[in-house]
Amino acid sequence: MRAWKWGLLAAWMAFGFSVGGSAAQEGTFTVQVCNNSTDTIMLAISHRIGVSDSRFVVKGWFRIEPGCDETSGIPKGYFYFFAFVPGKEAYWGGDRSNTCVSSKGNFERIATPSYHCKDGELLVPFAEIEITQDLHTLNLD
């Protein structure tokens, strides 16, 4: 785990969580991300591209400052995330979906089953949540 942490440290400085999403539409939810620590947290997420599109997008890094913020228009269903505190051992993830993320900066790509990490990418353990409600709060403590 330590290897990915140092690689990701370089990525965190220039990126922020793009919030203030679009109006809620049928089949989507709003995610409220609450950073309950005093540290800046870097977040990567994966979710379906659209309500009627079964493909997934993987994207990051979103800079999460202490407090809560939200974005809407994310298709309901499976939602994945990985977050870490730059320079510390703290991270939030799981064991359901190991996913390649950039250690060099912001990224966004379509997830495919045959994808292999490229140079400058690291495999990290994303957490899996199945979202059925209109609002989901992700607490990062």
Q: What is the pLDDT of residues 17-75, one digit of tens each?
A: 444 444 458 999 999 999 999 999 999 999 999 999 999 999 999 999 999 999 999 99
The residue with tokens 């990051």 is 60
Confidence of residue 90 (pLDDT cuts 50, 70, 90): confident
Q: What is the pLDDT of residues 112-127, one digit of tens each?
A: 989 999 999 999 999 9
By the 10 Å C-beta count (0-12 exposed, 13-18 middle, 19+ buried), 51 is classed as middle
pLDDT of residue 21: 45
Residues 6+ apart with CB under 8 A from 127: 80, 81, 82, 92, 93, 94, 96
95-109 mean pLDDT: 91
Which residues does residue 75 pair with via DSSP β-bridges, in sequence order?
A: 28
Confidence of residue 15 (pLDDT cuts 50, 70, 90): very low
